[in-house]
Amino acid sequence: MNNVETDAQKGYLITGAAGFIGYFLCKSLLEKGCRVTGVDSLNDYYDVTLKKDRLKRLEIFKNFVFVKEDISKREAAGKIFKAYRPDIVVHLAAQPGVRYSLVNPDAYIQNNIVGFYNMLEACRQYPVAHLVYASSSSVYGLNEKGPLTESDLTDRPISLYAATKKSNELTAYAYSCLYKIPATGLRFFTVYGPFGRPDMAYFSFTNKYFAGEPITVYNNQKSETYRDFTYIDDAVEGIERTLNHYPAGSVPHCVYNVGNSHPESLTVFIEKLEKSLCEASEKDIVFQKLYEPLQQGDVTATYAAIDRIKDAVGFVPKTSVEEGLKKFAAWYVTFYDIR
């Protein structure tokens, strides 16, 4: 996947290991000979078959240990840390999705607030060299200037999901200040690719097409929306480059954007997805579209400034949207046996 150097002598604990980003991060570390403990509750927010399939592909590695546990339970995180004593923790487990936070807010408080607190407490009780955790571009809320920099205001979240991620950053900062826990938050910008999350637009559009259903585009044809689509390999490289780059100073905490830094209009993105699926399936594919207004909690544009992470660890994304969608389409038609 990438040629980032990692310390195979350290033990890595990855939460959300059966999730999209978690799976690819575990796989990359394991291929480098690292010792990885993966934790996941295998909840049913989306098709558990995908999660179990990812997990099977990790369990072939002798240096991988899987723990099925819900870290939002107070005792769970402490037991895991006590048993496996990780050196570096990557906390990716969370309840994702902006729109679902309107339907089931309890899941976000329990998983994203309580679960994150439990991880911080475990890091305090069983000290680690570094905690890297997933934040989100959603923390920028109504701040839609471009590109978005880490120093921009993030005090206007427009979804509960965004508010929980901002809370994570603030709580991590406090723990870094109080207990000197080196912590790095990564604001991911629309990560996509093979084996991804079915609730995300590109995957959902593809599922709907092959189910014979129209796709819903939330822009009402009145204004275009833009997203900074980040391919999974690039996102994982961004994580890996930060693992052994510990924050320093009186408060050892920092935040980085992880994005492609090339926003794409949703209309053009859909056209490129159609083309990629045509090539992969050898079918003439055109989505039937239904247009609706922008939904509550959605922003019109995201655009990442990545100078900070580039300067700190040399991160430069390499995958164009065209290349990334081709890889997704090739995986999809194979995985779902599209003929």
Q: What is the SS3 assignment for 40? A: strand
> In what order do the strands lie in the sheet containing 88-91?
64-68, 35-40, 11-15, 88-91, 130-136, 183-188, 253-258
Report the interhelical angle of 201-210 vs 321-335 (nearest 10°): 40
Report the interhelical angle of 115-125 vs 74-84 (nearest 10°): 40
Neighbours of 204 (CB within 10 A): 14
Cis peptide bond N-terminal to 147, omega within 30: yes
Neighbours of 161 (CB within 10 A): 26
Residue 192 DSSP code? E
Residue 138 contacts residue 162 (beta carbons within 8 Å): yes
Which of 161, 192, 202, 303 is flagged as catalytic? Answer: 161
Residue 166 contacts residue 149 (beta carbons within 8 Å): no
For residue 52, with 0-12 CB atoms within 10 Å meaning exposed, 13-18 middle and 19 or more buried, which class applies? exposed
Residue 293 DSSP code? P
Q: How many residues does the chain have?
A: 339
Residue 161 annotated in active site:
yes
Which sequence positions are flagged as catalytic? Answer: 161
